[in-house]
Amino acid sequence: MNETRIEVKDLVVRYGEQVAVNGVSFAVGRGEHLTLLGPSGCGKTTTLRAIAGLEQPSSGRISIDGQAMYDAAERRNVPTEQRGVSMVFQSYAVWPHMTVFDNVAYGLRVRKQSPADIAANVERALDLVQMRHLASRPASRLSGGQQQRVALARAVAFSPTVVLFDEPLSNLDAKLRAEMRVELRELQRRLGVTSVYVTHDQEEALAISDRVIVMNVGVIEQIGTPEEIYNRPRSRFVADFVGSANLIKGKLSGEGLFAAEGGAVLKVNAPHKPRGTETEVAVRTAYIGLAPQPGDNQVAGTVRQRLFHGDFVQYVVDSALGPLIVRRPPTNLLEEGAPVTLSFSPEHTVLLQEQGA
C-alpha cells in the first residue's frame, strides 16, 4: 500500500456562494479501500464526484497514478470519460432501456472489445454478483437489490483499477445492506481494485474500509483506520458521529489527569499533543464496565433505566459524571435502581481536541 494511486490535494469545490469542499487533501494507496464518512452535506459525495470529473473544483489538484486529472494551477481538467475510473451511483443508474447484459457490456463496447471478449467479460462480471441467469432480462424489470448488483457488475466489468462508490447501499433495506456489505468486501479483495467509498453509515464505513476519512462541513475531521477512528476519536464530532460515546466536560488538571465537572478526576489518554485548554473527554459506551477493575477510572453510580436491545443492554447510570450510557452484553442483567461502580480504562478515556482547533 506504499504506492499512491489517487492523490487529492487542497481540493475546493464551490456551488455559487456555497463552499461544499473546503481544502481537502488525502491519498489512496494501490489496492486500498478508503471510505469518506460524514453526515449529509459534509462534502463527501462532492469530493468523490470531483475525483470522477463530474464536478468541477474551484482549486486544488487531483491526480491518478501520478497523472494530473485536475489541476487549477495548470488549468487542466481531464474529462470524466478519459480518467479511466469506474463508479457505482447511489441511484444505481441502471439504464432502463437496456437489458442486464447490455448494461454490463456498455463499458466494454465503449472500449471496442471484440464480441467474444465482451461476452466473456460480461459473464465473468455477472458471475461475481450471481446475476448470470438474468442476463437477458430488461433492466426495468429488476428489484432494487438486483439493480444494485447489475450496477456493481457494470462498474467492474471493464477491469478498472479505480472504482468509486457513491452510497451504493443506502437504498437497500437493512438486511440486504448487511449482506451486500459482506459481498462488497469480498469482491474488493478478489479484484484487488483501489476504491473510494462514500457513506453516511458509520457501521458500514468501519466494517468495510482499510481507512476511513471522517468529514464535516467540507473539511476532514480525522483520517485513520477504523480502529483508530473508533478508539481514539480526535474531536467531539468524530466521537459523536462514529459509534456511541459519553462526553464528559471538565478541564485538564495535570499530566494525563482530567478534572470532570462533577468533581471526579480521571486518568486520560490524548491521541494528540494536549494544549491544556481542552474541555471534553469521550468514553465509548461499550468500554464501560459496571464492576470495579484494578487500574481503571472508577466512579460510583446507580442504574436509572435499563433498555433491553437484544444484542446488548443499554443502561443509563447516574453518577458524579452525570448520566452515562453503558452498553453491556445481555447477560447478568441489573435491575433499575441497583448500585454499580462504573469503571473504564484510561486508555479508553480519550481527551478531545477543542472545537475549531
Partner 1 sequence: MPGGVEQVLTLQSAEALRPRWNWQAIITLAVLAIVGFLVILPLVFLVEESLNTGDPMAFPPQAYGIANYIAIFDEDIRVLWNTLIIAVMATVMAILIGFVLAWILTRTNVPGRALLERLMELPYYMTPLVGALAWAVIAGPKSGFVNQLWKRVGGGGDLVDIYGHFGIAWVMALFEGTVAFVMISAAMKSMDPALEESAQVMGASKLRTTLTVTLPLVMPGVLGATLFVFAEMLGSFAAALVIGIPARIYVITTAIWDSTLAYPPDYGRASAMGLALFVVMFGMLTFYRRMIRSGSYATITGKAFRPRAMDMGRLAWLLFGVCCLYIFLAVVLPIAALLFTSLQRFATVVLSQAQFTLANYQTALSLGPVRTALVNSLTLGFGVASVGVLVMALLVWIIYRSQFVGRGAVEYLVMFPQAVPRLVFGLALLWAWLNIPIPIYGTLWLLALAYFTVMLPLGVRTLAGVVLQIDKSLEECARVCGAGWVYQMRTVTLPLLKPGVIAAWLLIFMACVRELGASVFLMGPNAKVIAPSIVNAFASSGTELTAAMALIQTFTVIVALVILFRLTRGVTGEMT
Binding site for partner 1 (CB under 8 A): 12, 14, 17, 19, 22-23, 52-54, 56, 58-59, 72, 75, 79-82, 84-87, 89-91, 93, 95-97, 106-107, 110-111, 154, 158, 164, 217, 356
* Minimum CB distance to partner 1, residue 351 (Å): 22
* Nearest to partner 1 of 44, 211 (CB atom): 44
Cα separation, 91 vs 255, in Å, equals: 51
**Rounded Cα–Cα distance for residues 243 and 10 (Å):** 28
DSSP-based three-state secondary structure for 144 = helix
* C-alpha of 184 from chain center: 14
Using DSSP's 3-state secondary structure scheme, residue 32 falls into coil
Smallest gap from residue 93 Cβ to partner 1 (A): 4
- State which residue, 108 or 325, has the beta carbon closest to partner 1: 108
List C-alpha distances in Å: 71 to 5, 37, 49, 61.
16, 25, 15, 4
| DSSP conformation class of 60 | E
| Inter-residue contact 76 to 84 (CB < 8 Å) | no
CB of 110 to partner 1, least distance (A): 4
Query: Judged by CB, which is closer to partner 1: 91, or 130?
Result: 91
CB of 320 to partner 1, least distance (A): 35
Minimum distance from residue 61 beta carbon to partner 1 (Å): 12
Q: How far apart are CA 102 and CA 95, in angstroms?
A: 9
What DSSP string runs through 290-348?
SS--TTSEEEEEEEEEEEE-SS-EEEEEEETTEEEEEEE-SSSPPPTT-EEEEEE-GGG
Least distance in angstroms from the C-beta of 286 to partner 1: 33
Task: Select 58 or 341, whichever has its Cβ closest to partner 1.
Answer: 58
Q: Which is nearer to partner 1, 166 or 278 (CB)?
A: 166
Pick the closer one to partner 1 by CB: 89 or 312: 89
Q: Which is nearer to partner 1, 54 or 247 (CB)?
A: 54
Long-range pairs for 321-327: beta carbons < 8 A, 24 or more residues apart: 321/246, 321/248, 321/260, 321/262, 321/264, 322/248, 322/261, 322/262, 324/246, 324/283, 324/288, 325/244, 325/246, 325/285, 326/285, 326/288, 326/290, 327/244, 327/285, 327/286, 327/288
Nearest distance, CB of residue 284 and partner 1, angstroms: 29
Nearer to partner 1, 38 or 53 (CB): 53
| Residue closer to partner 1, measured from CB, 79 or 310 | 79
**Shortest gap between Cβ of 241 and partner 1 (angstroms)?**
18
- What is the DSSP track for 207-271? HH-SEEEEEETTEEEEEE-HHHHHHS--BHHHHHHSS-EEEEEEEEEETTEEEETTS-EEE-B-S
- CB 243 to partner 1: min, Å: 26
